[in-house]
């Protein structure tokens, strides 16, 4: 036995070739528990339990399958190249990447503010795409509602913070300034 061999594989190989080619037995509640009025004895129930246990051990998983998020299908036809199928995600990533590039390069005055606004706008665009486009590919991470709230709220918060960033904020909200002075004292 080599590396990566499960105990179920070892048990199947030790039991011989007669059980390897046999058709799998259907799994029923009576066979698994050994109960029922059919007259099955304990040895038949234990053999059925071992057979189903071996089948379960080969594919250990906490969940049987993961559901695709609502709207998580391809955004273009299946024969289209991968970038075309994922255009909503690529649009959001390109906008956010452009914002990060502007912040990192600092090519002009107030570049940090313009770059972070662009990052926030990219998230808001992601929320709008998630709302409007039926199938957005990998932009769909959770349910449609959760994605809308997450992308939209984070995008608006990033835009608001970049507008209020010091020095010389472009947006002045007096009650927020009072709240900061009250908590920092």
Q: In what helix (H) or strand (E) does residue 17 lie, and over which residues does it extend? A: helix 17-20
Q: Given this model, what pLDDT does residue 47 score?
A: 53
The average pLDDT across 71-84 equals: 72
- How sure is the predictor about 79, in pLDDT bands with cuts at 50, 70 and 90? confident
pTM: 0.58
Tens of pLDDT, residues 121-137: 999 999 999 999 888 88
Provide mean pLDDT across the span 161-179. 83
Mean pLDDT, range 1-26, rounded to an integer: 51
Q: Over 80: is that where the pLDDT of 13 sits?
A: no
Distance, CA of 57 to chain centre? 26
**Average pLDDT over every residue of 176-182:** 75
10 close to 54: Cβ distance less than 8 angstroms: no
CA distance 96 to 47: 59
Specify the DSSP class assigned to residue 139.
G
Mean pLDDT of 4-33: 50
Average pLDDT, the chain: 75
Q: How much is the pLDDT for 165? A: 84
Scanning 81-173, the segments in alpha helix (DSSP H) are 82-85, 87-105, 111-132, 144-163
């Amino acid at each position: 036995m080599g590396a990566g061999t499960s105990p179920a594989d070892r048990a199947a190989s030790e039991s011989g070739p007669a059980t390897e080619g046999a058709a799998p037995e259907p799994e029923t509640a009576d066979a698994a528990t050994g109960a029922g009025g059919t007259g099955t004895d304990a040895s038949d129930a234990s053999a059925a339990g071992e057979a189903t246990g071996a089948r379960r051990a080969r594919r250990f998983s906490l969940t049987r399958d993961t559901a695709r998020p609502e709207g998580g299908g391809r955004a273009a036809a299946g024969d289209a190249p991968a970038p075309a199928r994922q255009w909503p995600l690529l649009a959001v990533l390109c906008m956010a990447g452009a914002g990060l590039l502007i912040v990192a390069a600092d090519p002009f005055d107030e570049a940090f503010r313009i770059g972070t606004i662009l990052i926030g706008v990219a998230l808001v665009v992601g929320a709008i795409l998630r709302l409007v486009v039926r199938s957005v590919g990998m932009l769909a991470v959770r349910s449609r509602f959760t994605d809308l709230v997450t992308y939209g709220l984070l995008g608006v918060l990033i835009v608001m913070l970049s507008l209020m960033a010091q020095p010389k904020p472009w947006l002045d909200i007096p009650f927020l300034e009072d709240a900061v002075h009250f908590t920092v004292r």
